[in-house]
Amino acid sequence: MLKELRIRDLAIVEDAVIPFAAGLNVMTGSTGAGKSIILAAVQLLSGARAKKSLIRRGAERLSVEGIFSIAENWPLRGDHGMDRGETELSIRRELAGDGRNRIWINGMLSTVAAAQSASRALIELHGQHEQQKYLDSSNHILYLDAWGDYREHLEKTMSAIERFRALSERLARLTTAEEEDRRREDYLRFQLRELEDLKLEPGLERTLESRIKQIEHRQKYIGALEESRELLEGEGGSALERLSRALRALDSIAPMDEAWHEAAGLLAASRISIVEIARRISHALAAADEGEGDLESLQGRLAAIQRLGRKYGLGSDGLLAKRDEIRKVLASLTAGVEIEDVRRDRAACERELVPMLAALSASRRESAAALGALVTTELQKLGMKGALFRAFVAGDENSALQETPLEIHLSPRGVDRVEFRIRTNIGEEMHPLADIASGGELSRITLVLKKLEVEEKKIPILIFDEIDAGLGADLGGIVADRLSELSRTYQIICITHLPQVAAKAAHHVKILKQVRGERTIASARVLEGRERVDEIARMLGGKGGLREDLAEELLEND
């Protein structure tokens, strides 16, 4: 339970220490006295966003701390380093004006996530805006699933749904990619044919240009080659003949002088080079004779390469690289094979999932019937004698699973839609909760649903912010009895304006607001004895001694 709440420099609260007790605790006070600030402090302990605007004007920082009494079997005891014998847990949060935000758990610096985890296992806070959660039909399936006794099957089904949806998304992506690949493949194959027709080789463009120049200047080219060959190896004083004679001469005197042996070696190397050059000249002359009539063909081939080069902005070597790249891309277009694998996996998953969904729907219908009966009984105890509550489960018995694709109907929780409906008076039609006009009826419905919710979560502390809003005095006693009954199992902290609820409390805290030194300050005081009679009398309204007598009577009847 929450034993004590300490607040410093939060909004108009300067310094307050509020003790709480087991059972039913109430907080009362005039409208605007600052009761909502107490709730803001609890929300900060629960990890809510801390805004600098909450810091009291003139203060450097705000701090809130909650001291909790922890049961021996509290599930998060080990997460916060508590020894087995420890019975108290403290959560403290501080926000400085420079934006620094720090949290301590049991005196050790901690995190917002840790505070959220601890508080969720300790406190269920039901503010006035929480009623909207029950009015929104999209939350009804979450409520029913949390309350029902089919959690293990639900988790398995949700896991199968997640896998099925992932496979469906994968299949959709692959199908789209395949369609794009088909369009792309046609264009790529056209490009590849263009490039392959050129019979590209490394350096081909330069080779063709050189060959064309040779043919265009054929007479000069061949004449120069023939003259060079004749000078190098022809008869009658060729270079090779002269070198050979000089080499023989030097070899003859090399025994006389070692230096001429080295010179002879250089002449021999030169002779070898000239022989190689002469061989290349002979080959070039033979090639020139063979390609004598190919000029037009070579010019056409070069023009084709240059035309495609301009199209792609590439030279011949770039075109060669593009050809190889297109071949690789075409080889990688294998989505069709993968699609069949994914399609088979999804079909197998669907065969497994469909009976799981049917079983989940059956469990939901069974739990919905039990929930409807239970809530109806609770509402009738709260004075709604003609109330009839039902949880409707729809979408589970249609033929959509067989006649249309499953993913059209599938959500992360299956194919069902759940909606809470109510009849508040005998003879009326069933209506969605959102259509309820009476604030008192809505307060009682949310009280019942919240009670069932915390029973399922096994949370020890339940805080209500004006759960009795919209209730008349005739129903105040009924709600007070119900809260008192709840307080035998939970610690209840309730902000209330109903004197009947305040009179039922085991612990009564009054929130006061006063002006001190031209500053408004909110504070809290535990009421006992005459002070409590006076506060309940104030809540009853009116004037004179009658309200004091009624206040005393309410307290005596507690």
User: In 3-state terms, what secondary structure has residue 174?
Assistant: helix
pLDDT in the model for residue 366:
95
* 12-22: burial string, b at 16+ Cβ within 10 Å, e else: bbbebebebbe
User: In 3-state terms, what secondary structure has residue 149?
Assistant: coil
Q: How far apart are CA 532 and CA 277, in angstroms?
A: 123
Residues recorded for the chain: 558
Which range is least confidently modeled, 132-136, 409-413, 468-472, 514-518?
Answer: 468-472
**The residue to which tokens 């507690």 are assigned:** 558
- Helix intervals (H) in 234-383: 239-253, 258-290, 295-312, 316-332, 335-381
Confidence bin at 291 (pLDDT 50/70/90): low
Residue 71 to residues 2, 138, 256, Cα–Cα distance (Å): 12, 35, 117
* Tokens, residue 149: 């006794």
Strand order in the sheet with 388-394: 388-394, 417-423, 431-432
Strand order in the sheet with 24-28: 108-110, 101-105, 88-96, 61-69, 2-10, 13-19, 519-526, 507-516, 24-28, 491-495, 461-465, 123-126
pLDDT single digits (tens) 139-152? 999 999 989 999 99
* Tokens, residue 260: 């001429």
* Tokens, residue 510: 């009054």
User: Residue 25 is inside which H or E element, if any?
Assistant: strand 24-28
pLDDT single digits (tens) 299-348? 777 787 778 888 878 877 888 888 888 888 777 765 566 788 898 999 99
Residue 75 or 335, more confident: 75
- Report yes or no: 465 and 39 within 8 Å, Cβ to Cβ: yes
Q: How far apart are CA 121 and CA 131, in angstroms?
A: 21
- Report yes or no: 198 and 301 within 8 Å, Cβ to Cβ: yes
Q: Using alpha carbons, select from 297, 231, 141, 327 the residue that is nearest to residue 223.
A: 231
* Tokens, residue 76: 């998060």
Whether residue 400 has pLDDT greater than 50: no
Q: Using alpha carbons, select from 101, 309, 112 the residue that is nearest to residue 200.
A: 309
pLDDT in the model for residue 334:
58
Q: Which are the contacts of 81, defined by CB distance < 8 A and separation ≥ 6? A: 106, 108
Residue 102 or 325, more confident: 102
Q: Using alpha carbons, select from 399, 227, 204 the residue that is nearest to residue 304.
A: 204
* Tokens, residue 94: 């501080």
Confidence bin at 356 (pLDDT 50/70/90): very high
